[in-house]
Every structure is written in structure tokens, then in C-alpha cells.
Amino acid sequence: MAVATRPTSSLEVVVPAYNEAVRLPDGLDALGARLAALPVDASVLVVDNGSTDGTARIAAAWRGPVPVRVITCPERGKGAAVRAGLLATTARYVGFCDADMATDLAGLDDALALLGDGHPVVVGSRRHPSSLVEDYSHPLRKVGAIVFNRLTRDLAGGVTDTQCGFKFFDGPLARAAAADLTTSGFAFDVELLMHCARRGAAITAIPVRWRDVPGSTFSVRRHSARCLRDVVVIRLAARRPVEAPDPAAQPVPIPLTEISGAGPG
């Protein structure tokens, strides 16, 4: 059920939301059910990104099998919302997924297992040879995605699909990377992965089942130029020296049986 206090969870999932009043209830139902079936205690953090349609109210009123809390991020942009969400987490493992749940949540099992085995960053990839993709997007958007990934692959630890909205991390690593995040728009994934890779974290891509859900806020016409500008800024940031990693923030393998606590499962 929805709670106002900060949860003590082993896994926190951030859901950035801008005017998602229509899609969010079904999304939270699906996410809550899947998280409740995991062998760890889990919770959801919805980040309302300046919505004007009641998104925050709907999220706060949601009732389900796992705790949900809501924070607001007045700075517009998906990157800004994800940054605010990750920095507000406290769990050992954290991640984020899109409000439309375009990525099948069955991938949570694989992501959590890999995190428990010591893989610090686990990302869904629609380009993985074992992925199943139901793609009905406009051809121009497909071409743009291919070009964008080729421009940014070297920055993002070799990841071939930086923009799949299904990414999970060792918690301390994610919070350290998010603290350095400056990209507020749709190119934020590239910078976030870059900050993880520059800290020595290997990035593991997993196959996903993904379907194109109508209603995306991304527009090739309106956002492509901004994304390209952001990539230039990210490349400049990549030239700056990275601070020495804090040993206390390094990923440490933890068997799932040791972190399951009293959560549902």
C-alpha cells in the first residue's frame, strides 16, 4: 500500500512520470505484482516531473503489495527525474523503468540475480540477440536510434542500446553516478552509464521482451537536436578526470538469501 515514510528495502525501483495519469495505474499494478513475487523486499519510488494531470495524486493513492512513495522533481526532463529518484534511494540495489512498462517486467528476475552475483550494472537491451521486440515506431525514429547508439557506444561502456528504460545498479554506485549527472534530457542514460563505467563498473546487457507503447513523450523532430547537443557535452565531461572511487561504495556480491529480509516473496 502507499506509504509516506521512507521504506527500508533491498530493491528500490524509480519510475519517472510526467503526465502519466492514464498509464500509471496499470503500470503500478504490474510493477507491484512483479516486485512482490521477488525473493527480496522491494518498493517503488515515483518521481513526479512537474505533471499537470494528477499523476502525483494517483501514485500517492495507489494500493498494492509493495510500498510506494512519491517525490517531486520541478526540473523538467527525464534525466532530471531519474537523477532525483536515484539520489533519494537508500536500498542496496536500485533501478528505474518507464511508467508505460514497455519492457516486460519478467526481466527483473534476471537483473536481480545478476546484481546478487556481483554484477554492478545490469541493463535491458533491445539489441541483444535473444530479445523479443514488438516495434511499431516510426521508421525515422528507428534510424535515429541506430545513429544515436553508434555515436555514444564508446561512452557507455560498449552498450549497444543505451536508451532502453530498464536499468538496475548496485545502490552506492548508482547514487555516486547520479550525483555527477548533468544531462536532464533523454540522453541522460549515456552519461549515467559513462559515470558508472569510469568508476570501473562492468555493464551487463540482458535480453528483454519489449513492445512499443503509444504515448511516448520523445519526439524525433523536437528532441533530436537537444540529444546531439547533450552528447557533445557528455564527451567533454568524459575528458575530465574521475575522482578515485570510494572503497565503501564498491559493489560487493550479496547472496539473495542474505538480503531478502521479511519482504514478500
Indicate whether 265 belongs to any domain.
no
Please give the mean pLDDT across all residues of the chain.
Answer: 83
The predicted-structure confidence for 127-157, as pLDDT tens digits, reads as follows 899 999 987 565 655 656 666 676 676 777 8
Is pLDDT at 204 greater than 50 in this prediction? yes
- pLDDT, residue 147, reads 65
Percent of the chain exceeding pLDDT 90 equals: 63
Indicate whether 2 belongs to any domain.
no
Amino acid at position 154, single letter: D
Which residue, chain included where needed, has cell 533523454?
Answer: 186
Indicate whether 247 belongs to any domain.
no
**Residue 17 parent element (H or E):** strand 11-17
* Of the candidate ranges 45-54, 94-103, 211-220, 248-257, the one whose mean pLDDT is the lowest: 248-257
Indicate whether 264 belongs to any domain.
no
Is pLDDT at 253 greater than 60 in this prediction? no
What's the pTM value of the predicted model, to 2 decimals? 0.81
Q: How confident is the model at residue 242 (pLDDT cuts 50, 70, 90)?
A: low
Percent of the chain exceeding pLDDT 70 equals: 76
- Coil, helix or strand for 236? helix
Q: How confident is the model at residue 5 (pLDDT cuts 50, 70, 90)?
A: very low
- pLDDT, residue 258, reads 29
Range of the domain at 84: 11-242
247 vs 245: CA distance, rounded Å: 6
Indicate whether 218 belongs to any domain.
yes
Q: Which CATH number goes with the domain that contains 149?
A: 3.90.550.10
Q: Domain count of the chain?
A: 1
Indicate whether 261 belongs to any domain.
no
Indicate whether 87 belongs to any domain.
yes
147 alpha carbon, distance to own chain's centre = 22
Indicate whether 135 belongs to any domain.
yes
136 vs 212: CA distance, rounded Å: 6
